[in-house]
Amino acid sequence: MDSLTQIVLGAAVGEAVLGKKVGNKAMLWGAIAGTIPDLDVVNKLFFDSVTANELHRGFSHSIMFSLIFAPIFGWLIFKLYKGKKASWKGWTQLMFWGLFTHPLLDMHTSWGTQLLWPLEYKFSYNNIFVVDPMYTVPFLFFLIFAMIQKRGTVKRERLNRMGLIVSSAYMLLTIVFKGITYFVFKESLKEQEVEYIAMETKPTPLNSILWTANVETKDSFLIGYYSLLDKDKNISWRSFEKDHDLLGAYKTDPLIQRLATLSHDWYTIEKKDGVLYFNDLRFGLMGISPVEDRFVFSYKLNIENGMLTAEETEKNTSEAGPLLSKLFHRVLGNK
């Protein structure tokens, strides 16, 4: 999830592990541990966009990473405080849980987390958006109130525990919402007599009320939306042709195979102004407008001297305001 959420989770875990002994230092180092796995974003400075995206949430988000680096970081912190605050074992435990809870949380989002690296499989439950204020804000409030309490007090421990409980309860609630909306989408497809191969569902940005479904058919993908506040369960599906044949001889190119793996085979090929684009459907469209045809993740395919390369398209951040306004209008059940 986003950096703030990981900081809050890491700090709360640090407090739970070592707060009674070292006070706010436990929150500080827990917060640091919670941000370390996402330092893999520096790969964008050294690799092309496809390779960087392949490496994201890889080794740094694995059990192996936590097991290797927790004792190293724990030893460094132990030496920093000259053994006066807590033992090496204590700091190691704090760093392990700070590092390890990061990928455990990320597993619930759409990107996928290579928890069992070097195995290539990425866990992705798709039950919470990468930024969700309903998860983060209450958690943050409990953490702040715990932080200002005296070290080792029952009130401090209770507030920190409540933050962990409330955030976890909300996470469980999103799983319930995912189940409810999944069956709504499934029933809609049945009523409309749509034959499909696979379906995946996920929440839309910043909320867990409005959900979207990607549905694979033989020649196309369907995208639909359903809000838990909708008055009816009739889903309007938009169809996007796969058009994989537009790739021609490049359909078997290693780069296309890598992109297909990255997108879990949820992709379309689009041709605009004579240029081919690879659209990754996992993260949906840029907006929910009935005429929106731009995808959040899309790669421009360039062919030079018979060699195929891919360049991730830039996102126009100036459009964020209007897009969010339309999104929340739809969240409220307004079709």
**Run means of pLDDT, 10 residues per run, the chain, 335 residues:** 97 97 96 97 92 94 98 97 92 98 97 94 95 97 96 96 98 98 98 96 96 97 97 95 95 95 95 94 89 91 90 80 89 90
Residue 10 sits in the same domain as residue 110: yes
Give alpha helix (H) positions in 148-253.
154-191
Residues 29 and 121 both lie in one domain: yes
Q: Among 327, 328, 275, which residue's Cα sits nearest to residue 298?
A: 275
- Whether 277 is covered by a domain: the verdict is yes
44 and 165 housed in the same domain:
yes
Clarify whether residues 32 and 110 are in a common domain: yes
Encoding tokens for residue 94?
Answer: 């704090």
Q: Which two tokens stand for residue 159?
A: 């507030």
Inside any domain, residue 124: yes
Residue 86 lies in domain: 3-174
From 139, 174, 209, the end of a domain falls on 174
Residue 132 lies in a domain: yes
Round to whole Å and give the CA distance between 199 and 82: 55
Please check whether residue 202 lies inside any domain of the structure. Answer: no
Domain count, the chain: 2
Q: In terms of domains, do 111 and 19 share one?
A: yes
Helical residues (DSSP H) of the chain, grouped into ranges: 3-22, 24-35, 49-55, 63-80, 88-106, 133-147, 154-191, 254-262, 320-331
Q: Are residues 159 and 262 in the same domain?
A: no
Q: Is residue 210 part of a domain?
A: no
Residue pair 33/6 in contact by the 8 Å Cβ criterion: no
pTM over 0.85: yes
pLDDT for 322 equals 82
Query: Per the domain annotation, does 328 fall within a domain?
Result: no
In a domain, 128, yes or no: yes
Mark which of 123, 145, 174 sits at the end of a domain.
174
> Within this chain, do residues 136 and 19 fall inside the same structural domain, yes or no?
yes
Q: Which amino acid is at 315?
A: K
Q: Are residues 150 and 265 in the same domain?
A: no
**Domain match, 163 and 248 both:** no
Is 333 part of any domain?
no
Q: Are residues 22 and 99 in the same domain?
A: yes
Of 121, 151, 174, the position where a domain reaches its end is 174
Residues 160 and 31 in one domain: yes
Looking at the structure, do residues 162 and 258 belong to the same domain, yes or no?
no
